[in-house]
Amino acid sequence: MESWQARLRRQSIASLEALVARFGAEHFPDLARLRQAAENFEFRISPAMVDLIKSPGDPIWRQYVPDLQELEVHDGLVDSLAEDANSPVPNVTHRYPDRALFLVSPVCASYCRFCTRRRKVGDPEKIPLAELESAFRYFEQHTEIRDIIMSGGDPLLLSDRRVDEICKRLRAIRHIEIIRIGSRVPCHLPERITPELCGILGRYHPLYINTHFNHPDELTPPAVRALGMLADAGIPLGCQTVLLRGVNDDPEVMKRLMQRLLTARVRPYYIYMCDQVAGAEHFRTTVEKGLEIIKALRGWTSGLAVPHFVIDAPGGGGKIPLLPEYVESISDDEVVLRNYAGGRYVYKQPQPDTAPHPPIEFEPVLVG
Ligand SMILES: *Cc1c(COP(=O)(O)O)cnc(C)c1O
């Protein structure tokens, strides 16, 4: 059987010529300008995603096919999360008290056109793997770090040997309690999830994987199989979904996605507002749409299917949760609540103690 590396190399679409050959020139009226969009940011659609595109402009197409709208100028930011400003050594962003983001791979199987890190993803010079040593030293010196989040690019596009080496090195640092891997490979390149890889990952528990699915159609039989293999290796699976216009900005689509993730043994973790990243403006929708989606999930389906809805704050504020309003009022006496269906409920606050409790008197217990 062909290796995942060979299949990715041979059967991906990675040029406008291949795109035109596959879908027809009529869908690309302005190839010259489109080339500019394709050159601004790495372009590749992995075999599994090519197979999933049913028609031009559908939710899968929109995520991966370069678009002229990427060239429109808005007030988008190049590094919208200020990751580089919070980077003490190359490949590390240390923003939160007890955990750090660790970029270990510059490449992805498919490149999402809405990528937050499009300023560096796809470019090995901007995520330099020769410099991982300074990151390991930083982690060793910072004993407050108990959680490492491996990202990139996609960490699982590294060879088995590299994945093994990095995990081993992290596990050798006593204060690192948990390892996390962020990867879209279960969606983009499910054949990468091999028994050998699962065997390696299973040696480094507690290890978590947060994957990334944006549309229910992405949970194909091979993707579900790959997720099952990871789960069987004892890896708890989460999903970080991005709210995207024309892809999943619809409560019914999101509900189906979250339910299918659960059946694939993945617990939805976050829905992100799309970042204000230059070149991805056409993917953004309103915050109200996100709140509407959460409202359509909470109570109406399994609580396990309801992720946190967050904005990763521009300028490096980190992830800030947003909730629809369920609290109508709070006083010292009571809290007035609305349930998912709009019903009104009152919860009485505990009354403050006016007098000390009388001492509890014990009956002596006679033994024997
Ligand atoms: C998202 C993120 C984390 C992890 O955040 P959690 O809420 O713990 O999942 C850590 N560091 C950076 C820089 C991040 O962007």
Choose the catalytic residue: 7, 35, 95, 289: 95
62 labelled catalytic: no
Q: Which two tokens stand for residue 91?
A: 């490949």
Torsion of CA 324, 238, 108, 56, to 10 degrees: -50
Ligand 1: atom nearest CA of 310 is 7
270 labelled catalytic: no
245 labelled catalytic: no
99 labelled catalytic: yes
Ligand 1: atom nearest CA of 83 is 13
CA atoms within 13 A on the CB side of 327: 7
State the distance from the centre of ligand 1 to the C-alpha of 28, rounded, in angstroms. 38
DSSP 105-164: ES--SS--TT-TTTTTTT-TTTS-GGGHHHHHHHHHH-TT--EEEEEES-GGGS-HHHHH
State the distance from the centre of ligand 1 to the C-alpha of 101, rounded, in angstroms. 7
How many degrees, rounded to 5, is the angle at CA 229 between CA 253 and CA 65? 45
The strand pair at 99-105 and 92-93 is best described as antiparallel
Pocket of ligand 1 (CB under 6 A): 93, 95-96, 99, 101, 149, 319
pLDDT of residue 355: 66
Sequence-separated (6 or more) residues with CB below 8 Å from residue 38:
16, 66
CA dist 250 and 90 (Å) reads: 38
Integer distance in angstroms from the first to the last C-alpha of the chain?
A: 77
Which residue among 83, 84, 86, 96 has the greatest number of ligand 1 atoms within 8 angstroms of its CB, and so is best to mutate?
Answer: 96
State the distance from the centre of ligand 1 to the C-alpha of 220, rounded, in angstroms. 28
Q: Phi-psi category of 287—alpha, beta or left, where left has phi over 0 and alpha has psi -120 to 50?
A: alpha
Ligand 1: atom nearest CA of 269 is 9
DSSP three-state, residue 32:
helix
Choose the catalytic residue: 44, 113, 117, 119: 117
State the distance from the centre of ligand 1 to the C-alpha of 275, rounded, in angstroms. 14
DSSP three-state, residue 97:
coil
Atom 12 (ligand 1) nearest CA: 101
Fill in the amino acid letter for 88: P
Choose the catalytic residue: 112, 167, 187, 274: 112
225 labelled catalytic: no
Per-residue pLDDT of the chain (368 residues; tens, 9 = 90+): 789 999 999 999 999 999 999 999 999 999 999 999 999 999 999 999 999 999 999 999 999 999 999 999 888 889 989 999 999 999 999 999 999 999 999 999 999 999 999 999 999 999 998 889 999 999 999 999 999 999 999 999 999 999 999 999 999 999 999 999 999 999 999 999 999 999 999 999 999 999 999 999 999 999 999 999 999 999 999 999 999 999 999 999 999 999 999 999 999 999 999 999 999 999 999 999 999 999 999 999 999 999 999 999 999 999 999 999 999 999 999 999 999 999 999 999 998 876 666 667 767 666 65
Atom 8 (ligand 1) nearest CA: 99
Ligand 1: atom nearest CA of 318 is 15
- CA-based nearest residue to 313, from 305, 322, 304: 322
State the distance from the centre of ligand 1 to the C-alpha of 147, rounded, in angstroms. 10
344 labelled catalytic: no
Ligand 1: atom nearest CA of 270 is 9
Choose the catalytic residue: 62, 115, 272, 284: 115
State the distance from the centre of ligand 1 to the C-alpha of 105, rounded, in angstroms. 17
Atom 5 (ligand 1) nearest CA: 319
